[in-house]
Amino acid sequence: MADKIELRAEIRTAVGSGVNALRRSGKVPAIVYGHNVPNIPIQLDVREVANTLRKAGRNTLITLNIAGKDAPQMVLTREVQRDPIRHTIKHIDFYAVSMTEKITASIRVILEGEPEDVKSGAGVLLQERDTLEIECLPSDLIESVTIDVSKMKVDDVVRVKDVIVPAGITLLDDPEDEVVRVTRFVEAKEEEAVAAEPAEVEVIEKGKKEEAEGEEE
C-alpha cells in the first residue's frame, strides 16, 4: 500500500476580493465537498500543498487534517485551477470520501512492450482508449492499469472485458469496447486518409442571445 499522504488545512473565512489577499499571503483557497458532506471552505499553505500534489495523483487518497476538526477527512483531488501564465495554484477542489462507500474514478491505460508485427512494420498499434472508468472502495483505488501488448499480432484486439484489474475493482465501460488493437499497416493508412477528409459542416441559425453577444464582440 502507498505511503500515507497528509495535508494540513484551516477553515477559510476569506471570500470574494479577500481571496486575492489570501493568495498574496502564501495561502491557497480550496473547497471540500462530497456525498452527504457539507461544503467546507478551507485554506492551505501554498508550498505544502504544491509538494503534496507532486506526490499525490488524481486517485491518491489524502488525509486532510483541518484545524479545529475532531477527525481528519479523507479526500481526493478533483480539480486544480492554475494561473495560465505563472502556473501558480489558484484554487483546489477536494472530494470527500467515505471509506465504506464505493466511488467511481478514471484510470489511465498504459501499454507495455512492442508487438513483433509492429517492429517489422507489418502492423500498427492503435490505442483506442487512454482511460477506463472504474468503481471501487476508496482504499482500492489505483492510478492506472498496464496492458502487455508485446505478444499481440496483426488483427489482435484487447477489449475492456480482457483487461485485468485488481480484486475489488469493477470496470464500468462497455465490455466489448476496444482498448488496443494491432491493424495492418495499409489499413491504418487508409483509416488516416478517411479521417483527414473534410467533414460537412452544418450551419445552425444563431439564436437571439448569440447574435447579441456577437454584436457586442
DSSP 79-93: EEEE-TTT--EEEEE
**Over 60: is that where the pLDDT of 196 sits?**
no
Where, residue-wise, is CATH 2.40.240.10 in the chain?
6-96
Q: Which CATH superfamily is domain 103-196 in?
A: Ribosomal protein L25, C-terminal domain (2.170.120.20)
CA 217 to CA 212: how far, in whole Å?
A: 9
Where, residue-wise, is CATH 2.170.120.20 in the chain?
103-196
Least confident among 51-55, 89-93, 150-154: 51-55
- On the 0-12 / 13-18 / 19+ scale of CB atoms within 10 A, 149 is buried
- One-letter amino acid at 198 equals P
- On the 0-12 / 13-18 / 19+ scale of CB atoms within 10 A, 76 is buried
Local confidence band at 57 (pLDDT 50, 70, 90 cut-offs): confident
Residue located via cell numbers 498504459: 110
Assign domain 6-96 one CATH number from 3.90.950.20, 2.40.240.10, 2.130.10.10, 1.20.120.450. 2.40.240.10
Local confidence band at 143 (pLDDT 50, 70, 90 cut-offs): very high
Q: How many CB atoms lie within 10 A of CB 84?
A: 7
Please state the pTM of the whole predicted model: 0.75
Query: What percentage of the chain exceeds 90 in pLDDT?
Result: 72
